[in-house]
Structure 1
Amino acid sequence: MTCSWSRRTFLRTTGGTAFALGLTASPLLAGEAAAADEFTTLRAKWRTLILGEGFSPTAEPFRTKLAELGTRAAELQSAMAPATGSLWPDLVWADPEPDTDQESFGYSQRMNDSFNRLSTMAQAYSQQGTGLTGNTALRDDILTGLDHVYARVYNENQARFGNWYSWQIGAPQALLDVCVLMYDQLSATRIANYCRAVDHFVPDSAVANYTGTSTGANRVDLCRVLILRGIVGGSAAKVALGRDALTPVFPYVTSGDGLYTDGSFIQHASVPYTGSYGAVLLGGLGILFTLLAGSSWAVTNSGRQIVFDAVENAWAPFLYNGLIMDGVSGRAISRSGSAPDHERGHSILASIALLGQGASAAENARWRGLVKGWIQRDYYSPPLTDPSLGLASLARLKSVADDTSVAAIAEPTGHRLFPNMVRATHRRPGWAASISMANKRITYYETGNGENLRGWHTGSGMLYWWGDTYANGQYSDAFWPTVDPYRLPGTTNSRKVLADAAGGDWGAAKPDVNWVGGATDGSRAAIGQYLRGLQSTLYAKKSWFCLDDSIVCLGAGIQCTDGTAVESVVENRNLGPTGTHALTVNGTVKPVSHPWSETVSGATWAHIGGMGGYVFPGGTTVKALREERTGRWSDINRGGATTAITRRYLTLWVDHGTNPTAGTYAYVLMPGANTTQTAARAADTGWVQILANTDDQQGVRVPSLGFTGVNFWFGGTVGALTASAPCAVMITEKSDGTAVICVSDPMRMQTGLTLTWNRAVASVTSKPATVTGATTGSSLNLTFGDLSGTAGATQKITVKLG
């Protein structure tokens, strides 16, 4: 490719000075001219990626979004007032030696936010239809702002303070985006200055080792900075470094941060983070793959396929009707929004649509079908009217929604167990559920930077569930700032008062337990958690048996000496600001006034109108409470909104009393069931047989399903099953005369295991290599070798019944 540019044009287009590029006064070489053309192409491509394409600025919803962007930019322009320690009066970064770490964090964040505001202004200048497109006064103010922040705080002579993220990821990403958008308005001196600042805070050494804050999603963000720095500053070496530094992100990991073969995604060493950091990784890789495709720096590493496979292996299981499940979103659940779980989900949908551009044709077509289905089914928070989506993401989703060649794919049914992050999802026609647990590898919860201050019990067996056309606002409608954090649904907790951020930042608190996990055949599951309370003497054994229309929940061995009440929460439904959903217990409709409470003895079933049913095998004493709860996002996130919010809740729980020694519970959750179905299930006392519910084993049998599930906390005999050591077992007997036996070692410690099923078996038709011996006849005897290296994965054996 030839080039007829002047030397000045070349320097401005590539963004470097002659010295920085190593040039002399000699004419441009052909290779240099070609590189300059590539940088020009990549800058144009990045503009398109961040501004969006394929939409009319006069068509909705883009017309309104563009007008809002222009209004916001005008407000920022009007308020901008350069001063010694700030660019805006409400974003002061002035004190590099604050009194506390929190103050220091705040100062660095406000510096970061100053660049974000300049980016908003640059987008309004660059986008059509904002009312400020190409506005010279706005242009001049953007340049003034860039120069001011560079001169005062973000430069090559400034020492870092506060949050590392602001200096190495947040600020440079926003700065480089502005540089691309305003490139034709920037002098070579300005570009050289800004590049030196980025080089100072994000040196090549930032990606020298895959450790610390340079792993997973953070590594992808750092690579984006390096790649954009190279494109803006005309440095092929920087672009190549950023591309190559992506390589450690691709392979599956067996510990620490990254993607696991079972679909788990971990960040900060112990936090399940598919919905937050994982979303950043997915979006970051998608946009970088697309940016560099077709260039000299295209990402061709074969490890890319692991990322493509993860769309359906890691992300799709946690997406439901457009939302991303909170159990894999870490401290992001404490961030305010109109429907935060949906907003995070919509961003992931847009990332999947973008990533598909670099995947195979078959993958891209299938993903677009999945995305279209999620868009169409999200009645609670329609993605195409999501105020949190940027124009580029909105354009990608609109393109999928309007593509008549794409058929929407329905939500899948089935069960997914993620042993490496002790999470599970259970999907049935009309509803989906998720379980969040904790063990010695996975934290109870993550707090940090003043966020998620009261998420203490989210890993204590929290059982989330959503309906397809109902109950989707449960966690979306200001749930986290208003719910009683000691009464999260599905959990067993001590009422011992905990301090904000109890247990320490960044997932520091982990229970010293091993038996957490389960076994699944992909449709049903037996899951268990040995629970130890956070900063508590609480111990409990909890099990969930995930079936076709319900989840059987058992608790046993519940003991505590905290001197406080201990509760197992059957349900805690967010009814919204004015909800009066009927509660029916044993056929009697209870009052709908707020507040209201009652202790019901001999309860065999309960039903919440428009939600679902709850069956208590054998009967139990259950407590019920209606209350209005008021909270603020700032209560759980120091940067959150301070406006008071009130929501109504309907709570059902089993009270184990103060200092219980052997508490138990048993209930069956039936999402979407009506009162007739719930009452009928309760009346059918033989539908579920509780084989064991003790501190040693928990198990159930459902004859009509041919299902048996047992969690052996210790070896022993339960029903027709005998295990020599701790394990999880589930069996499904099928109508074709076969059975599937699923076994796992959640403890990851068994070097040998024998399992006997007292059932006539004619032959073993398939088994994994971990089964070292199998005898059939009047009973089935299975001998397993070393299971400690299976990472808790299910071992599946198929037999022909005798």
Structure 2
Amino acid sequence: MTPPSSPPWSRRTFLAATGGTALAVGLTEPGAAAATTRTQASAAAQADDEFAVLRAKWRTLILGEGFSPTAEPFRTKLATLGTQAAGFQATMAPAAGSLWPGISYADPSPDTDQESYGYSARMNDSFTRLNTMAQAYAQPGTGLTGDAALKDAVLAGLDHLYSDVYNENRARFGNWWNFQIGSAQALMDTAVLLYDHLSAEQTAAYCRAVDKFLPDSAVAQYTGTSTGANRVDLCRGIILRGVVGGSAAKIQLGRDALSPVFPYVTTGDGFYADGSFIQHTDVPYIGGYGAVLHDGLGRLFALLRDSTWQVNDPGSQLFLDTVEKAITPFIYNGLMMDNVSSRGISRGLTVSDPFQLPQDDHTRAHSVMASVLLVGQGASPEEQARWKAMVKGWLQRDYYGPALKNPKLSLVNTARLQTLFDDDTVKASPEPTEHRVFSNMDRATHRRRDWGASVSMASKRIAHYEFGNGEHARGYHTGSGWLSWWGDDHGLEQYSDTFWPTVDPYRLPGITVSKKPLPDGFGGNWGNPKPDTTWVGGTTDGEFGVTGQHLRGVDSTMTAKKSWFWLDDSIVCLGAGITSADGTAVETVIDNRNLGASGTARLSLNGIPQPGTQGWQATRAHTKWAHIAGHAGYVFPESGGSRVSALREERTGAWRDINTGSSPTSFTRRYLTLWQDHGTDPQDASYAYILMPGASELRTAARAIDPLWLQILANTPKQSGIRVPSLGFTGINFWEAGTVGKVTANAPVSVQIHEKRDGTATISVADPSRTVTGLTLTWKRPVKSVLSKAPSITDVQTGSSLTITFGDLSGSYGTTHRVKVRTA
């Protein structure tokens, strides 16, 4: 389609500006007929005005506001945008099957899925490039602002893609996402930016194309690819098509189709009541699809607010609640924890990255932080104040990858964060002190003011890892009890500094693993391997926590019972029943610290400094404690200590090794690894250690020689439990019914008892396996009275001991049930 010349005032702009007066002037019918006609004309003009308002609002959401184009970092970002757009303009060469040389979207072999996917992705890339050019035209300070030649190039490119590949007469090929979401969004965003330069014919044609590939039927059922984040993206495309095409029906359809996203789910994709977020049926994805969903809903809420189509669904408050229930527990000092980003952690340095910076846990958090502020515009004043203080704290404390210095962060998000950073009326809030269990995605987080940690597990419900589209090829053991942690002034670079392409994938911190070799992408595309185990989860009183995992290895006979007890300054880690028949060694990785390209860290074992040379390896029996300077202390509380191995090594890898779409450039990083070797085909092996993030050598040594601090009550395949008297803490994982210390349970549950100095105690119980239809729990401790109890509790007997009777817990999705009592 050849673009006709565009008059300075398009027909729609003229009618909107005149309010429809030109229509009414020529009408001479008297009485009611004339009044009706005038009313209709006024209504049409008013509707067109509202579409214009929505276009202006979306334009602002694309381009940003409240920043000076001559101030940093905006001046550099705008100049970079201009340079990128100029490069696209200079190399654009419309031809059959492509808009740029080397980016062919012609699909010669529709029966070859992988090839078709690549072609559809290149079509989407072409639309994205045109959108970049349109932004450079619309933004100030790009060097191409208002440039007629650039504008004409964008219009010519849109028409070429329409006539060549993306029109109502073509069939979809390759990946559905590129047609229904990626290209539809980029096309409609570009149409908004250049709306006044499009003819009515062009606008209608582009809308027909979107209608073809993104029909109303795409949101007719909440199933398949139309759930969670994908559903929000589909609704965005439909709503923007309505805004561009002046269709109230489309906007209403897209708005109403958001409603299924708001209620919490109990299976499959979406947000759960405990804050879990799942996409692709069994993959924790708050840092990926969850972030996309939040950004998408935040933008749509902002777009439609105060309009005829404002989102007024009562369930929308459930979405607002996910900010604090689901998003913020996984952001620590400005980074998004990798264990909820799935394949995203393998997306590092790309082949043609203009900034030569890999995506990492910090950069993934930055856009989420901005979306929290955007969503907050529709929240209560109290919520908005908390969220601003929280985001400002992250901005101030991120010393490794500050958001405002991220050249990849969009200008609009940078502007939103910069405005908050400069607002002296907002005081930053510190990291919270809390423990959270996400039983519906096999994750737990533990937060303290000066450190944070999280564990990643797998079960019959949750995949060990996800491989697809050539991404995340060696993530197979990320669900095997991977324990990640960070300090407030150290460790933020652990997973950011080229960790994933260089780390030994069999030695992730915290995992128990068979060294049986696995092929890249084990399980195949979207295979999402899951172990046949159900006892995975834990309990908490909100301050401390108990977590357990019945682990089965990936494509392995290896099994283990792993437990974590989360305390004020440490995590006690126990493992038992470690058994395997793979014919290979089995290890438990105590820690594996990324020291960077040339870093060193002093290691001492029992206070004796160890060599700092690369390639050094040693095994020390009777190790009571270890310390890595600038990182953490490790205490081995078993009588006589433990047999601990240590290794310093340099490892080299490229992002392409784990993601076929990434750069082949190689990197080398140094690692210091501590582990326990359980031998080949172990039978009922075990381990015990205390991780003390940020602890000094002196404090680590003091903990190691204090025999009264920790009591290991049990560490067997039937039960694992500890008591820390100074904290009033008792934690037990009953893999089977039995008695541990003063606690008896007649069913497999996770139990935590926290006694306070005020004479109260909170008993927290969960059913991780979701099989317990009745439970009697006895604590041999004098108790005066019951202060509060969960509805699931049918009876409580106090006196010389406490006996609690629970009803059916199997349908409570692993949640925690609490009883608060006053002790005698």
Task: Report what 1:329 is aligned to.
Answer: 341
Shift of 1:431: 0.2
One of 731, 740, 764 as aligned partner of 2:753: 731
- In the TM superposition, what are the counterparts of 1:221-260 in structure 2 within 5 Å? 221-260=233-272
Spell out, residue by residue over 1:426-455, the C-alpha distance to the aligned partner (whole angstroms, 9 max, x if none): 011210000111111111111111111111
**Does residue 407 of structure 1 match 2:446?**
no
Matching residue's letter, 1:129: G
What residue ranges of structure 2 are gaps of 5+ in the alignment? 1-6, 17-26, 28-36, 349-356
Task: Report what 2:404 is aligned to.
Answer: 384
Matching residue's letter, 2:176: W
Shift of 1:95: 2.5
Shift of 1:96: 4.0
One of 763, 766, 788 as aligned partner of 1:766: 788
One of 36, 39, 42 as aligned partner of 1:30: 42
- Contact 1:455–1:485, Cα closer than 8 Å, also in 2: yes
Task: Report what 2:451 is aligned to.
Answer: 431
Q: CA 1:130 to 1:695, structure 2 compared with 1: closer, same or farther past 3 Å?
A: same
- In the TM superposition, what are the counterparts of 1:33-182 in structure 2 within 5 Å? 33-97=45-109, 100-182=112-194
- In the TM superposition, what are the counterparts of 1:710-725 in structure 2 within 5 Å? 710-725=732-747
One of 797, 806, 811 as aligned partner of 1:789: 811
Shift of 1:360: 1.6
**CA distance, structure 1, for counterparts of residue 575 and residue 110 of structure 2:** 49
One of 277, 281, 285 as aligned partner of 1:273: 285
- Contact 2:110–2:173, Cα closer than 8 Å, also in 1: no
**CA distance, structure 1, for counterparts of residue 647 and residue 191 of structure 2:** 56
Spell out, residue by residue over 1:628-665, the C-alpha distance to the aligned partner (whole angstroms, 9 max, x if none): 11111111111111111111111111111111111111
- Contact 2:109–2:115, Cα closer than 8 Å, also in 1: no
One of 497, 500, 503 as aligned partner of 1:483: 503
Scaled by the length of structure 2, what TM-score is found? 0.94
**CA distance, structure 2, for counterparts of residue 372 and residue 429 of structure 1:** 15
Spell out, residue by residue over 1:586-616, the C-alpha distance to the aligned partner (whole angstroms, 9 max, x if none): 1111111112111111111111110011111
Q: Residue 634 of structure 2 aligns to a residue in which SS?
A: strand
Spell out, residue by residue over 1:231-258, the C-alpha distance to the aligned partner (whole angstroms, 9 max, x if none): 1111111111001100100111111111
Task: Report what 1:751 is aligned to.
Answer: 773
Task: Report what 2:312 is aligned to.
Answer: 300
Q: Residue 333 of structure 1 aligns to a residue in which SS?
A: helix
**CA distance, structure 2, for counterparts of residue 176 and residue 641 of structure 1:** 31
Matching residue's letter, 2:292: V
Spell out, residue by residue over 1:397-436, the C-alpha distance to the aligned partner (whole angstroms, 9 max, x if none): 0111111111111111110111111110001121000011
**CA distance, structure 2, for counterparts of residue 736 and residue 703 of structure 1:** 15
Task: Report what 1:545 is aligned to.
Answer: 565
Spell out, residue by residue over 1:745-786, the C-alpha distance to the aligned partner (whole angstroms, 9 max, x if none): 111111111111112222222211222122222221111111
When structure 1 is superposed on structure 2, of 99-108 and 699-708 the one drifting more is 99-108
Task: Report what 1:9 is aligned to.
Answer: 11
**Does residue 358 of structure 1 match 2:370?**
no
Q: Residue 563 of structure 2 aligns to a residue in which SS?
A: strand
Q: Residue 377 of structure 2 aligns to a residue in which SS?
A: helix
Q: Residue 227 of structure 1 aligns to a residue in which SS?
A: helix
Task: Report what 1:695 is aligned to.
Answer: 717
Q: Residue 358 of structure 1 aligns to a residue in which SS?
A: coil
Task: Report what 1:508 is aligned to.
Answer: 528
Q: Residue 141 of structure 1 aligns to a residue in which SS?
A: helix
Task: Report what 1:671 is aligned to.
Answer: 693
- Contact 1:454–1:485, Cα closer than 8 Å, also in 2: yes
- In the TM superposition, what are the counterparts of 1:205-216 in structure 2 within 5 Å? 205-216=217-228
When structure 1 is superposed on structure 2, of 126-135 and 448-457 the one drifting more is 448-457
**CA distance, structure 2, for counterparts of residue 168 and residue 68 of structure 1:** 29
Matching residue's letter, 2:702: A
**Does residue 344 of structure 1 match 2:346?**
no
Q: CA 1:12 to 1:494, structure 2 compared with 1: closer, same or farther past 3 Å?
A: farther
Equivalenced residues, count: 788
Shift of 1:519: 1.1
Matching residue's letter, 2:609: V
- Contact 1:339–1:477, Cα closer than 8 Å, also in 2: no
Matching residue's letter, 1:624: A
- Contact 2:107–2:173, Cα closer than 8 Å, also in 1: no
**Does residue 686 of structure 1 match 2:708?**
yes
**Does residue 529 of structure 1 match 2:535?**
no
Matching residue's letter, 2:154: I
**Does residue 264 of structure 1 match 2:266?**
no
Spell out, residue by residue over 1:511-548, the C-alpha distance to the aligned partner (whole angstroms, 9 max, x if none): 11110111100010111000011111111100000001
Spell out, residue by residue over 1:293-340, the C-alpha distance to the aligned partner (whole angstroms, 9 max, x if none): 111111111111111111111111111111111111111111115451
Task: Report what 1:195 is aligned to.
Answer: 207
Q: Residue 548 of structure 1 aligns to a residue in which SS?
A: coil
What residue ranges of structure 1 are gaps of 5+ in the alignment? 15-24
- Contact 2:470–2:661, Cα closer than 8 Å, also in 1: yes
**CA distance, structure 2, for counterparts of residue 642 and residue 232 of structure 1:** 41
Q: Please, what is the CA RMSD of the aligned residues?
A: 1.6
- Contact 1:470–1:611, Cα closer than 8 Å, also in 2: yes
**CA distance, structure 1, for counterparts of residue 8 and residue 610 of structure 2:** 82
Q: Residue 461 of structure 1 aligns to a residue in which SS?
A: strand
- Contact 2:544–2:568, Cα closer than 8 Å, also in 1: yes
Shift of 1:507: 5.7
- Contact 1:339–1:381, Cα closer than 8 Å, also in 2: no
**CA distance, structure 1, for counterparts of residue 434 and residue 401 of structure 2:** 25
Shift of 1:99: 6.8
- Contact 1:13–1:184, Cα closer than 8 Å, also in 2: no
One of 323, 329, 333 as aligned partner of 1:317: 329
Task: Report what 1:451 is aligned to.
Answer: 471
**CA distance, structure 2, for counterparts of residue 173 and residue 453 of structure 1:** 29
- Contact 1:169–1:225, Cα closer than 8 Å, also in 2: yes
Matching residue's letter, 1:449: N
- Contact 1:486–1:495, Cα closer than 8 Å, also in 2: yes
Shift of 1:505: 3.2
Scaled by the length of structure 1, what TM-score is found? 0.96
